[in-house]
Copies of this chain bind each other. A is one copy, B any other.
Amino acid sequence: MLDVIAPLVISNTTKIVLVSLDGLGGLPRPETGRSELETARLPNLSALAAEAACGLIRHVAPGITPGSGPGHLGLFGYDPLHYQVGRGVLEALGIEFDLRAGDIAARGNFCTVDRAGRITDRRAGRIATEVNVRLTERLRRIRLPGVEVFVETGKDYRFVLVLRARGRRGAGGLSARLSESDPQMLGKPPLPVKALDPRAKATATLVNRFIAEAGRVLADAAPANMVLLRGFDQLPKLPRFPEVFGLRSAAIAAYPMYRGLARLVGMDILKTGTTFADELATLREHWDTHDFFFVHYKDTDMAGENGDFDAKVSALERLDDALPEIRALKPDVLIISGDHATPSVLSGHGWQPVPVIVWSRYCGADGVTAFTERACSTGSLGVMPAQHLMPLVMANALRLTKFGA
């Protein structure tokens, strides 16, 4: 689709705001038969829905629960089945590591092994992040020939390993076509990392050497006396969003993961604070310098992940309260949607399609008067693959010319 869209892009001065409510969609609470959206008091969102075209967005495919990577790529117009982001890269983005083209990133766990080297705890007793920081310091001392080694602390027992080639190591450089060292079960030693492609042999050797060294430098650090590595990947080659759509594009997100995903597609990352109020202040500040604003709202997902129905209702109501501030800027196109559902009753991401509002002067209000899963399912947009949203948004912004003569 991007190949079809890009040649149709024309310039305009219209402004677009895409507000992504993370984990937006939900499910009815059995006691009331009403979802989080149906329970919350959302006068501003309802009013916007009444003036807009509504529908549901499906990010990957029916029944498929999207991770945060595919969820956002879909919203940005990329087919998530075609453009995949590996776990190692996502973890690196999540700690805002400055991952570069060619770097190999992996998700690491500290783990516990017995004297025979067999895994007894894949999460090292869930050590505290402070312990992790000290042990990460040890791992950083590991030297490997021809590459820089980066080890970055994550939460609890998690870390990120990044290998970066020094200079130009041959045409191919490093390769992430590697098997995982985590056997995903107890009682076995970590697996040797294997090259899944002949070009990855040298990288496999380096990674195995890192693992062996890690075992040595952590020998006295039980329960965190070994490491497991998985999700080896490199930055994917994605068409650049600002170029495909001809939009000066900015991301405003208090959480690093979402800034990272926006950076992946080439958006400018606007410095902001830690709250949604900060994000809105940032939006106002930069209103004149960009055409497209991706504004991320995290609270809905967090409440859903915690299985806290009432907290999710409150998070929705807080967003509703803030909506007039966004509308006051008079965007030409305003989109409210999310990257995936996080129903409180599932305490995690869900596969359900996510409500969407597309508002513009030309959207064609469809008579849907509430921003809920059920109301939007009857909207004029139907159930739409997420990657179809951006072309629709571009059309509403009068930034696409017609296809064919």
Contact = CB atoms under 8 A, between A and B. Distances in A.
Interface string A340-380: 00010110111111000000001011110000011001111
A4 B61 contact: yes
Nearest to A72: B404
Contacts of A61: 1, 4, 388, 391
Contacts of A373: 364, 366, 380
A395 B1 contact: no
B374 A64 contact: no
A342 B249 CA distance: 30
Given A4-B61, A61-B4, A351-B400, A86 B346 contact: no
B400 A65 contact: yes
A159 to B, nearest CB: 15
Given A373-B380, A395-B351, A400-B351, A28 B405 contact: no
Given A66-B404, A67-B402, A402-B349, A362 B382 contact: no
A81 B400 contact: no
Contacts of A352: 364
A322 B402 CA distance: 31
Contact of A366 (B4, B8, B377, B395): B377
A392 B68 contact: no
A394 B63 CA distance: 7
Nearest to A65: B402
Contacts of A379: 377
Contact of A405 (B27, B231, B389, B390): B231
A85 interface: yes
A84 interface: yes
A400 B64 contact: yes
A60 interface: yes
Nearest to A231: B405
Query: How many copies of the shown chain assemble into the complex?
Result: 2
B364 A63 contact: no
A28 B364 contact: yes
B69 A405 contact: yes
Interface in A277-332: none
A275 interface: no
A367 B374 contact: yes
Nearest to A68: B405
A113 B85 CA distance: 52
Contacts of A1: 61
Q: Which of A80, A378, A401, A402 has the most chain B CB atoms closer than 10 A to its own CB?
A: A402
Contacts of A127: none
A365 B362 CA distance: 30
A316 B93 CA distance: 55
Contact of A67 (B27, B80, B86, B403): B403
Given A27-B364, A28-B365, A343-B362, A405 B65 contact: no
Contacts of A68: 404-405
Contacts of A402: 64-67, 348-349
Contacts of A84: 404
20 contacts: A4-B61, A4-B64, A27-B364, A28-B365, A61-B388, A62-B384, A63-B390, A63-B391, A64-B395, A64-B402, A65-B400, A67-B403, A80-B403, A85-B404, A345-B362, A349-B402, A350-B362, A377-B378, A377-B379, A377-B382
Nearest 8 A-B pairs (CB), nearest first?
Answer: A63-B391, A67-B404, A382-B383, A63-B392, A377-B380, A62-B388, A63-B395, A70-B404
